[in-house]
């Protein structure tokens, strides 16, 4: 774990902070689909990703989900930080997109390190800036992009995050994450297949040329 942590965060944090993370952090390995944070629950720690990816989702009053962004190696979730510091319930759901390794940092250390380490302050502020831009991008996409454009961008991001052209999601799951309906997503995927952009299989989607 020491080498993995240094590889992911050594360029961001000084050695003293790395050592403290190793002392107080809880190392976890979670499988794809594992739910790390649930809406309405209190968050007791902040995740630092060593490898893999976590998707962050919001939910409306009808239970429909919307994908906000992904957290990847060397990153954390600013919304988790906000809930931790404010001692408030989570407003997001965090699910492992693929097999993921992470270190959970206790709440009290987050505040302590903000005063103690300049690199930690920069990391936290940078995370807020990055996540805010991603949320704004998601809002812009909903407000200004057509659903076919949103679907293409979604598929591209899935391919990038998972580093493979196979997407193991049902049409219904994709519809949930794009806050659409299965019928609409299926129709658009069929259109992409006719254009030679994807191949639809019973259990997965193969991305050919987007």
pTM of the full structure: 0.75
Domain holding 161, by residue range, is 146-207
Q: DSSP characters for 56-80?
A: EEEE-TTS-EEEEEEEETT---HHH
Strands 45-51, 35-37: pairing is unpaired
pLDDT at 131: 81
In terms of domains, do 119 and 45 share one? yes
pLDDT at 206: 94
In terms of domains, do 98 and 77 share one? yes
Using alpha carbons, select from 127, 122, 106, 131 the residue that is nearest to residue 25: 106
**pLDDT one-digit tens code per residue, 127-147:** 888 888 888 888 777 776 789
In terms of domains, do 92 and 23 share one? yes
Alpha-carbon torsion (100, 119, 11, 67), positive or negative? positive
pLDDT at 86: 64
pLDDT at 1: 64
In this prediction, the residues of the chain whose per-residue pLDDT falls under 50 are none
CATH code, 200: 1.10.10.10
Asked whether the beta carbons of 145 and 154 are under 8 A apart, the reply is no
- Max Cα distance, the chain (Å): 57
């Amino acid at each position: 774990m020491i080498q993995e942590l240094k590889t992911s965060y050594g360029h961001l944090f000084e050695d003293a902070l790395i050592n403290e993370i190793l002392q107080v952090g809880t190392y976890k390995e979670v499988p794809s689909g594992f739910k790390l944070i649930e809406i309405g629950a209190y968050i007791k720690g902040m995740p630092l990703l060593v490898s893999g990816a976590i998707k962050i989702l919001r939910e409306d009053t009808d239970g429909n989900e919307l994908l906000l962004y992904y957290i990847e190696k060397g990153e954390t979730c600013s919304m988790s930080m906000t809930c931790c510091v404010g001692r408030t319930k989570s407003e997001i759901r965090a699910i492992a997109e693929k097999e993921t390794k992470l270190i959970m940092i206790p709440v009290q250390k987050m505040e302590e390190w903000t005063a103690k380490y300049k690199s930690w302050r920069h990391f936290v502020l940078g995370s807020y800036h990055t996540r805010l831009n991603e949320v704004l991008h998601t809002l812009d996409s909903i407000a200004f992009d057509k659903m076919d454009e949103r679907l293409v961008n979604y598929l591209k991001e899935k391919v990038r995050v998972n580093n493979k052209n196979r997407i193991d999601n049902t049409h219904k799951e994709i519809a949930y994450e794009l806050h659409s309906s299965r019928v609409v997503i299926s129709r658009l995927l069929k259109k992409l297949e006719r254009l030679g952009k994807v191949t639809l299989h019973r259990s997965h989607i193969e991305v050919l040329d987007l």
